[in-house]
Amino acid sequence: NAGVMQNPRHLVRRRGQEARLRCSPMKGHSHVYWYRQLPEEGLKFMVYLQKENIIDESGMPKERFSAEFPKEGPSILRIQQVVRGDSAAYFCASSPPWVGETQYFGPGTRLLVL
């Protein structure tokens, strides 16, 4: 049973470009979560999605950031017009649909904005 998959593992972008981060949940998991980890800090919740639905985006910056989880394919976290402050590790997690279930994390995408 494959774990949560994220790609790319490392992404370098110049200021003003777009970053697209992909996440495929574990088989049987219908819920996806995105977290951001700034250097030397803990993880901060960004957004929680089900297929075709954003359930909670309270941790997502209001501008430039968006997330989707289409009916087919991986979840995508999109950052438009990246700035240096967006440099961080972005982790995706997935879980079964029940409340309180363990979230299993992918290996993360390290985004570096030059």
Partner 1 sequence: AQKVTQAQTEISVVEKEDVTLDCVYETRDTTYYLFWYKQPPSGELVFLIRRNSFDEQNEISGRYSWNFQKSTSSFNFTITASQVVDSAVYFCALSEARDMRFGAGTRLTVKP
Looking at the Cβ atoms of 25 and 106, the one nearer to partner 1 is 106
Looking at the Cβ atoms of 17 and 37, the one nearer to partner 1 is 37
Cα separation, 88 vs 113, whole angstroms? 9
Q: How far is the CB of 16 from partner 1 (least distance, A)?
A: 27
Enter the DSSP assignment of 106.
-
Q: How far is the CB of 12 from partner 1 (least distance, A)?
A: 17
Which residues lie below 8 Å from residue 94, measured CB to CB, with a gap of 6+?
4, 23, 25, 26, 29, 31, 32, 33, 103, 104
Binding footprint of partner 1 on the chain (CB under 8 A) = 31, 33, 35, 41-45, 48, 55-56, 58-59, 89, 91, 93, 99-100, 102-108, 110
